Amino acid sequence: MNTENLLNENKIGRIFCIGRNYAAHARELNDDIPESPIIFTKFPSCLVKEGNDVHFPEFGNDLHHEVELVVLIGKEGKAATAAEADTFIAGLAIGLDLTMRDVQFELLKNSLPWEKSKAFDESAPIGDFISYDPTRINLENIEFSCRIDGELKQQGNTANMIFPVHTLIMELSKVWKLMPGDIIYTGTPEGIGPIKRGQTISIHGLGMEHSWKIV
């Protein structure tokens, strides 16, 4: 796989996202623990690299932060086993799944799709990708966190995922042929909450820190 090219933001393809992949997060929303991964999507226009501001949406009032491990897919095909799934991973990053919570609750109450609350422009700030080396990185022990104006809000570890990264890749493979440049937002731990205009949100993990101003 040509990892260097894929790590360029212009090579990003589909954005798959996983909901309720941490039990404590499901409980804080009073949701059931899922029996299989909850999958939704975002669009390339959702991505925001560091150095750019994030604009508070002009609809809704309750913008929430959700920090997550993000996986970059490096080759075409489908994975049927964990060993196969591992060969699809080109890189890793930490990102944010920003959510308009008041809009989402209204959509869910009416049994409507939730893209409006999840897939709006600039809803997926993302840090730099690092190349994945399975001899150095244990996918089931990656710590990451989120701070607002320097105050710790979320602290997570992939050890607490309901569906580990390899399982997510296998589940996605049952429906879609994966393509180089696809990315997977793997779910957020507990501690979600509001972020307001004028605040700075920062994410930490994989030896890096990235931040954005909400304007």
The closest alpha carbon to 113, from 54, 63, 46, 39, belongs to 39
Domain ranges of the chain: 3-213
* CA count, 13 A, side-chain hemisphere, 70: 27
Bridge partners, 213 (sequence order): 200
Q: How far is CA 146 from CA 15, 85, 169, in A?
A: 21, 28, 25
pLDDT computed for residue 9 by the predictor:
47
pLDDT computed for residue 5 by the predictor:
56
Query: What is the spatial distance between Cα 104 and Cα 92, in angstroms, rounded to a whole number?
Result: 28
The closest alpha carbon to 139, from 184, 171, 180, 173, belongs to 184
Q: Which residues contact 180 (CB under 8 A, 6 or more apart)?
A: 1, 2, 6, 11, 13, 73, 74, 75, 76, 90
148 token code pair:
């607002």
pLDDT computed for residue 30 by the predictor:
80
Q: Model-level pTM?
A: 0.94
Q: Which residues contact 198 (CB under 8 A, 6 or more apart)?
A: 213, 214, 215
Query: What is the spatial distance between Cα 193 and Cα 147, in angstroms, rounded to a whole number?
Result: 11
Q: Which CATH number is associated with domain 3-213?
A: 3.90.850.10
Each residue's pLDDT, cut to its tens digit, for the chain (215 residues) gives 554 555 454 578 899 999 999 998 988 888 788 899 999 999 999 999 999 999 999 999 999 999 999 999 999 999 999 999 999 999 999 999 999 999 999 998 999 988 999 999 999 999 999 999 999 999 999 999 999 999 999 999 999 999 999 999 999 999 999 999 999 999 999 999 999 999 999 999 999 999 999 99
84 token code pair:
């196969």
Strands (E), 62-186: 63-65, 67-73, 89-96, 99-100, 124-125, 130-131, 143-148, 151-157, 183-185
